[in-house]
Copies of this chain bind each other. A is one copy, B any other.
Amino acid sequence: MATKQKILIAPSPRKVNDIFDENDLSRFAALGELVIHDEDTPLSDAQFNDIAADLIIVIGQIDLPHTRLEKAPQLRAIINVEGNFLPNIDYAYALTKGIRVLNVSPVFAEPVAEAALGMAIDLARHISKSDRAFRSHEETYGLEANEGAFSLFNQTVGFIGFGDLGKATLPLLKPFNPKVKIYDPWLPNDYIASFGVTPASLEDVLSTCQVVFVVAGVTSQNQGFLGKESFESMLPGAALILVSRAGVVDFDAMLDAADSGKIRVATDVFPEEPLPANHRARSVKNVLLSPHQAGALHTVLQRIGKLAIADAEMIAKGLPPILCKVAQPETVALFRSKPVSKS
């Protein structure tokens, strides 16, 4: 007797109900029999082997080495309900078998872009700085309060990296009529130019932009690639907004550059989270601190389930996935992001 195709939902470190509502689960159930593993303990080999033969879709970040994957000949998709690709999968094997490996990073692009814009305006226009002055009875008014402030309108703005996050940030900036320069060594110049912006070298972005958004992910090739010299090459008073991964910058050098007054910095990411109580970042000047909150909205978690089920449905129909991020054979092995904690 034919057994039914199975879908494994093992979303740890998230819980099923954080990301899927009843309707999402019904849609999954229409594609196959749901096997739900809603615990933080890893799925055991025995548990995996029990369902492997009928598995068509895996939701989550369980270990999927070659030895497991070869027991799941019907498997067509592995969807990590986080925003990154982790070293939990034998990607090379999966890709030659035509198994789609996906993550839901696109859901984070818009909220992080929004926060990045908010932080950029904050740095440019002294929003939190003047509020802080008010609270300590030291505010000045009007032109005086704006000493050192600048407007984003008609400014030269740079991006380091131009993936989903950069692409979500760009349209929020467009109404400010910026001159945009983009450095992304993974993209052809023609492609970058098709967005109405200028492809540029890293040096050019750093040395000519009044606002620089760092939106590049960490790879094995670019850890700490923004260091002391990078910050020194920036325009005096330029604003740096770091919203991707702390690993791409030399964090201490970045704080030094802010503290000296050379640049102003906003960061949503930190080398350690939580940041140690006595970490100097808390008292450095010209820094805006954001506790890894740019993407982590409750409404965003609910979008995760929508992306996962929509692409699962596509794949079940024999169509390519559309909404999730698709692991590319060329680059998946390069990413070095740490598993994030639940938030």
- Chain A positions 298 through 316: 1 when the CB is less than 8 Å from some CB of chain B, otherwise 0: 1111000011001101110
CB–CB A127/B298 < 8 A: no
Give Cα A342–Cα B310 distance, bound, in whole angstroms: 39
Which one of B133, B171, B313 contacts A188 once the chains associate, using CB atoms below 8 Å? B313
Check: A271 CB closer than 8 A to any chain B CB: no
Interface residues of A (CB under 8 A from B): 95-98, 110-111, 114-115, 117-119, 121-122, 125-128, 130-135, 137, 139-146, 149-153, 171-172, 174-177, 186-191, 196, 273-275, 277, 281-283, 288-294, 296-301, 306-307, 310-311, 313-315, 318-320, 322-323, 328-331, 341-343
CB–CB A151/B191 < 8 A: no
CB–CB B118/A291 < 8 A: no
Give Cα A310–Cα B114 distance, bound, in whole angstroms: 32
Q: What number of copies of this chain does the assembly contain? A: 4
CB–CB B153/A114 < 8 A: yes
Residue of B nearest to A186 (CB): B319
CB–CB B296/A143 < 8 A: yes
17 residue pairs bridging A and B, Cβ less than 8 Å apart: A111-B151, A114-B125, A114-B176, A115-B125, A125-B294, A126-B293, A127-B290, A130-B291, A137-B282, A143-B296, A143-B297, A143-B301, A145-B292, A172-B176, A175-B175, A177-B196, A188-B313
Residue of B nearest to A106 (CB): B194
| Closest chain B CB from A45 CB (angstroms) | 27
Besides A96-B96, A110-B153, A126-B293, 20 other A-B contacts (C-beta < 8 A): A111-B151, A114-B153, A115-B121, A117-B117, A128-B132, A133-B291, A134-B275, A141-B293, A142-B293, A142-B296, A142-B341, A143-B297, A144-B343, A177-B196, A186-B319, A187-B322, A188-B314, A189-B310, A191-B322, A320-B328
| A95 surroundings in chain B (CB, below 8 A) | 98
| A273 surroundings in chain B (CB, below 8 A) | 141
CB–CB B122/A310 < 8 A: no
Residue of B nearest to A300 (CB): B151
Given the known inter-chain contacts A151-B114, A297-B151, A341-B142, please indicate yes or no for A319 contacting B314, CB distance below 8 A.
Answer: no
| A128 surroundings in chain B (CB, below 8 A) | 122, 127-128, 131-132
CB–CB B151/A310 < 8 A: no
CB–CB B111/A118 < 8 A: no
CB–CB B177/A174 < 8 A: no
Give Cα A142–Cα B121 distance, bound, in whole angstroms: 21
Given the known inter-chain contacts A141-B292, A289-B134, please indicate yes or no for A110 contacting B330, CB distance below 8 A.
Answer: no
| Closest chain B CB from A188 CB (angstroms) | 4
CB–CB B110/A146 < 8 A: no
CB–CB A98/B96 < 8 A: yes
Residue of B nearest to A270 (CB): B141
Give Cα A319–Cα B297 distance, bound, in whole angstroms: 32
| A118 surroundings in chain B (CB, below 8 A) | 118, 121-122, 125, 127
Give Cα A176–Cα B196 distance, bound, in whole angstroms: 11
CB–CB A175/B177 < 8 A: no
CB–CB B146/A293 < 8 A: yes
| A189 surroundings in chain B (CB, below 8 A) | 310
| Closest chain B CB from A21 CB (angstroms) | 14
Residue of B nearest to A343 (CB): B142
